């Protein structure tokens, strides 16, 4: 009987532990465990500020028509969350030691937009507010135009084929640099774009 | 009776535990392993599908600012009153003016200039027409310089970021009055 009680106690502790770490036991209506979302670059080019860019030349701009384009593919009736984070400056040869050094760093101001009418069409694009080169945006993967929202979709089953409800949305990245009296050379920085369905998990 | 039926599974469960008394420590361990491993694996797979991250490079090639320095002015000295024209060959004449354009080594650029200008007599009324000719060389050698055309052709800075220019021209002296003349020569260098 003493052994039996000992195991009952151990079993109770184990159940508590397993319940806390067992993801399969959770049910959350705001999460989309079985849906996929992908992000692809439409071209492998960098976001390049085209020359000639001259020392002390001031403001240079990549405008929306020349923007770096990304394609989001996901379920057309879901919203995509996008987090965009960019370096605040381009550094000479990407050298981190140049950060904050006005002789070898160039301030970079990111701008962004998205299009969600199913086509890579700049005419459909809508501005994404970016503050201090950081943005958290949310938009439907397929824009709902002026239509009223439809009925909620049926929950996915084992027969669910996401390719049948996939749609493409597009992200555009562009911006300005302000070139002061910096050393001539190749300057670079990075933009990190994260795409997901559910904000709380990032 | 119904109540008994409802609690029956619980009683059965206890019965199994008792009968497997000696194997329980092993059973707990076997239960522990998947409990530790699977949730993290499932979570990783789930995150793979749920989000995607892309890093994009932003880049700009910055060139040195352009500069054109006059090293030597054109020499119009000692012209004769009966002289009808003066031709200063930009390649051969020591009277040619000399400039050096400076920019980023190896980068390409264009040169443009106003070909025909007038010089003004600063002492009395009179104009003097001049047609400028320009020769250029990435070496500091006038006699091997190439005569340039004011078009969109590209030239390149040498490894020191320099390109030499010699300025000559044809001056029409037929209607010239005596006196001193002054004028400007405007040459523009820009990166392609």
What ipTM does the predicted assembly reach?
0.77
User: What's the pLDDT score for residue B30?
Assistant: 44
Contact B53 A193 (CB under 8 A): yes
Name chain A contacts of B53, Cβ cutoff 8 Å.
39, 192-195
Residue B191 with chain A: CB contacts under 8 Å = 51-52, 54
CB atoms within 10 A of CB A51: 16
Write out chain B residues lying below 8 Å of A196, CB-based.
50-52
Task: Give the model's confidence band at B119: pLDDT under 50 very low, under 70 low, under 90 confident, else very high.
Answer: confident
CA distance B160 to B104: 8
Residue A61: φ, ψ to 5°: -135, 140
Among the partner residues B32, B54, B62, nearest to A39 by beta-carbon distance: B54
The answer to whether the Cβ–Cβ distance between B50 and A177 falls below 8 Å is: no
Q: What is the pLDDT of residues B61-95, one digit of tens each?
A: 999 999 999 999 888 787 776 778 889 999 999 99
Whether A152 has a pLDDT exceeding 90, the answer reads no
Q: What is the residue-averaged pLDDT of chain A?
A: 83
Check whether A102 has a pLDDT greater than 90.
yes
Q: Are A54 and B107 in contact (CB under 8 A)?
A: no
What is the tens place of the pLDDT at every residue in A47-69?
999 979 999 999 999 999 999 99
pLDDT in tens, A35-47: 889 899 988 888 9
Digit-coded pLDDT (tens) for B13-31 = 333 343 434 444 444 444 4
In angstroms, the separation between the Cα of residue A201 and the nearest Cα of chain B is 8
How far from chain centre, in Å, is Cα A48? 20
A153-169 average pLDDT score: 77
pTM over 0.80: no
CB contact under 8 A, B39 and A21: yes
Provide φ and ψ at B115, rounded to 5°.
-75, -45
- Chain A residue whose CA is closest to B105: A184
Residue of chain A minimizing CA distance to B161: A184
Residue A94 Cα, gap to closest chain B Cα (Å): 9
Q: Does B10 touch chain A (CB under 8 A)?
A: no
State how far the Cα of A105 lies from the Cα of A164, in Å rounded to an integer: 47
Tell me the nearest-neighbour CA distance from A152 into chain B, angstroms: 20
Q: Is the pLDDT of residue A188 over 50?
A: yes
Give CA–CA dist B182/B192, Å, rounded: 32
């Amino acid at each position: 009987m003493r052994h039996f009680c000992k195991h009952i106690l151990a079993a109770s502790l184990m159940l508590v532990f397993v319940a806390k770490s067992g993801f399969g036991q959770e049910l959350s209506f705001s999460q989309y465990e079985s849906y996929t979302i992908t992000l692809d670059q439409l071209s492998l080019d960098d976001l390049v500020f085209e020359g000639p860019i001259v020392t002390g030349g001031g403001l240079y701009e990549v405008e929306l028509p020349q923007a770096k384009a990304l394609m989001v593919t996901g379920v057309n009736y879901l919203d995509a969350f996008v987090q965009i984070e960019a370096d605040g400056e381009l550094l000479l040869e990407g050298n981190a030691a140049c950060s904050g050094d006005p002789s070898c760093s160039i301030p970079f101001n990111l701008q962004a937009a998205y299009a969600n009418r199913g086509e890579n069409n700049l005419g459909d694009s809508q501005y994404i507010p970016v503050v201090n080169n950081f943005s958290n945006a949310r938009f439907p993967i397929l824009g709902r135009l002026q239509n009223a929202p439809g009925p909620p979709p049926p929950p996915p089953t084992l027969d669910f084929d996401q390719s049948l409800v996939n749609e493409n949305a597009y992200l555009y990245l562009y911006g300005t640099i302000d070139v002061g009296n910096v050393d001539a050379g190749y300057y670079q920085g990075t933009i990190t774009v994260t795409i997901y369905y559910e904000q709380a998990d990032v | 009776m119904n109540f008994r039926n409802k609690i029956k599974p619980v009683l059965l469960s206890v019965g199994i535990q008792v009968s497997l008394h000696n194997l329980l420590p092993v059973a707990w361990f076997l239960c522990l392993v998947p409990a530790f491993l699977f949730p993290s694996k499932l979570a990783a797979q789930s995150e793979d599908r749920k989000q995607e991250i892309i890093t994009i490079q932003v880049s700009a090639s910055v060139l040195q600012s352009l500069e054109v320095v006059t090293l030597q002015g054109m020499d119009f000295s000692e012209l004769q009153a009966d002289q009808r024209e003066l031709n200063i060959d930009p390649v051969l004449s020591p009277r040619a003016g000399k400039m050096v354009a400076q920019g980023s080594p190896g980068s390409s650029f264009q040169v443009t200039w106003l070909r025909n200008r007038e010089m003004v007599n600063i002492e009395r009324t009179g104009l003097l027409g001049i047609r400028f000719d320009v020769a250029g060389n990435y070496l500091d050698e006038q006699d091997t310089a190439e005569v340039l055309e004011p078009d969109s052709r590209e030239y390149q800075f040498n490894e020191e970021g320099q390109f030499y220019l010699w300025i000559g021209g044809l001056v029409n002296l037929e209607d010239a009055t005596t006196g001193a003349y002054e004028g400007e020569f405007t040459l523009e260098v820009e990166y392609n």
